[in-house]
Amino acid sequence: HRYEIIVVDDGSRDATPAVITAWAACHPDAQVRLLRQQNAGPAAARNHGAREARSPLVLFTDGDCAPTRTWVEAMAAPFVDDGVVGAKGTYVTEQSALIPRFVQAEYEDRYDRMRGQPQIDFIDTYSAAYRRDIFLENGGFDPIFTTASVEDQEFSFRLAQKGYRLVFAPDATVSHLHDSDLGEYFRRKYYIGFWKALLIRWHPERMVQDSHTPQVLKVQIVLLAAMLGLAAMALLGVFWAPLGWLWIGVGASVLAFAATTAPFVAKLAHRSPGLALAGFLMLVVRALALGSGYFVGTIHFAGTVPGARQPVIPGWKRLIKRAVDVTGALLGLAISIPLVAMAALAIKLDSPGPILFWQVRVGENGRKFRIAKLRT
């Protein structure tokens, strides 16, 4: 057999095990293994499957996806290159309703962004592949993410930071049932934003850029927040007239937001005029859901360290501690400056060359940081 199929039942209470067992009985030539565990979330379930796998490659897809006939071959193809550690595939959908078509257009816009990049840093589990040994050596997906959210992003960011090569495999397609209504779309985006707040605590550099997220999306979130904030203050103009001038800022924010949506809406227009008309509203909903989720998540996870579900030092106590830390650091710096100056002079007198040199270290969660050291 060229591959085995592993299904992980994450504590289901329905007929899932019976369905899998019956399917396996009807397909005796397929190597199907059913693993069962108490409910722990998709990250833990995928890790369970990877530990039990026997192949040097592990391919992941989600429970609401149907891989195409050539998916396994297309997913495995990049690994002919020994330097490739992970690969990301793509979504397709057969849904024809407005919102699913918009969601598919969103993904294809991001795929366009990833095409041509020699390596990426963002892999989603709906169509993903990793070398099993590297996956396990790096701990797999973090089970702190108990719902389907950003656990796949976090793991791929962690690998990319360590220098592993991840690539895009656009021909590795899976068919997916996208969000069918506005409420479902909003909830999914909200929880992505919520968990993204924790992810950014671990990987702050991804706030700036990653290979998957359009930069304009971040601008839209900021503009929408400014628009809503200014509108709330402008409404107070009923009580204090000068605040009425803030409506100019609201109008400017609306125009700026509309300008940022123009390129994507133009893409939608090539598909369908109706889709383009709905596109602006959907982009507003997207920015609102992601932004509000991120805001709530930032408050919820304040002070949270990896492996912990609640803040070590919550709220105002954390602010006090940070103020004490900064004050202590400044005092320590003031005391050490004369000693560092004396050491620098001694180094310069001893031999030619720079006084300081830089080193790159790998810290918590694989995050790289730079330190300055005196030359000895």
Q: Are residues 166 and 213 in the same domain?
A: no
Q: In a structure prediction context, what are the per-residue pLDDT tens digits for the chain, which is 376 residues long?
A: 588 999 999 999 999 999 999 999 999 888 999 999 999 999 999 999 999 999 999 999 998 999 999 999 999 999 999 999 999 999 999 999 999 999 999 999 999 999 988 999 999 999 999 999 999 999 999 998 888 888 999 999 999 988 899 999 999 999 999 999 999 999 999 999 999 988 888 777 778 778 788 899 999 999 999 999 889 888 887 777 777 788 898 899 999 999 999 999 999 999 899 999 999 999 999 999 999 999 999 988 876 555 554 444 555 566 687 788 889 989 998 898 888 889 989 998 998 888 888 888 876 545 567 888 888 8
167 and 87 in a common domain: yes
d(CA 89, CA 120): 12
Helix locations, 236-355, DSSP H: 246-271, 273-300, 315-350
The reported pLDDT for the residue numbered 17 is 93
Cα-trace Rg, the chain = 25
User: What is the pLDDT at residue 309?
Assistant: 46
Structural domain including 346 reads 322-374
Is 317 within the bounds of a domain? no
Q: What is the pLDDT of residue 67?
A: 96
196 and 50 part of one domain? no
CB 366 within 8 A of CB 206: no
In a domain, 91, yes or no: yes
Same domain, 326 and 362: yes
The span from the CA of 286 to the CA of 187, in Å, is 10
Strands 165-176 and 84-92 turn out to be: parallel
CA distances from 259 to 36, 160, 208, 254, 275 (A): 50, 33, 21, 9, 18
The CATH code of the domain that includes 34 is 3.90.550.10
Strands (E), the chain: 5-10, 32-37, 57-60, 65-67, 84-92, 128-131, 165-176, 356-362, 368-374
Domain boundary at 312, 332, 354, which? 312
- Start-to-end C-alpha separation, the chain: 59
Domain count, the chain: 3
Cα 265 to Cα 340: distance, rounded to the nearest angstrom: 57
Looking at the DSSP bridge assignments, the partners of residue 166 are 86, 120
Point out which residues pair with 91 in neighbouring strands. 174
Q: Are residues 291 and 366 in the same domain?
A: no
175 and 54 in a common domain? yes
**Residue 148 lies inside a defined structural domain of this protein:** yes
| pLDDT value of position 204 | 78
Same domain, 141 and 22: yes
Q: Which residues make Cβ contacts (< 8 Å) with residue 338, sequence separation at least 6?
A: none
* pLDDT of amino acid 26: 93
Whether residue 102 lies inside any domain: the answer is yes
Whether residues 245 and 204 fall in one domain: yes
| Pair 19, 152 in one domain | yes
* Together in a domain, 124 and 153: yes
Evaluate whether residue 249 is within a structural domain: yes
State whether 219 and 197 are in the same domain: yes
Last residue of a domain, one of 312, 335, 353: 312
Claim to verify: residue 237 and residue 336 sit in the same structural domain? no
> What's residue 141's pLDDT?
95
- Domain end call among 122, 156, 180: 180
